[in-house]
């Protein structure tokens, strides 16, 4: 199974996309991106929930 996230679905205007075989790996990549490109140094439960709500799988 592949997991996919378009960051723009959470942060409008961001063109970054992520795909991974593992949801945990995907979330790690997204967290690194959020820190580097959006200045989010803490992933709160609310942010995590917003991200997870946009993750698709196939």
- The reported pLDDT for the residue numbered 29 is 97
- The reported pLDDT for the residue numbered 58 is 85
Q: Is the pTM of this model over 0.85?
A: yes
**Helices 23-38 + 45-54 axis angle, to 10:** 120
Task: Tell me the average confidence (pLDDT) per consecutive run of 10 residues in the chain, 58 residues long.
Answer: 97 97 96 96 92 95
Residue 35 and residue 6 in contact, taking contact as beta carbons nearer than 8 Å: no
């Amino acid at each position: 199974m592949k997991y996919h996230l378009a960051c723009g679905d959470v942060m409008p205007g961001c063109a970054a996309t992520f795909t991974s075989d593992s949801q945990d790996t995907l979330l790690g990549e997204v967290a690194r991106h959020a820190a580097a490109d959006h200045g989010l140094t803490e992933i709160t439960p609310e942010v995590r929930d917003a991200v997870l709500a946009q993750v698709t799988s196939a």
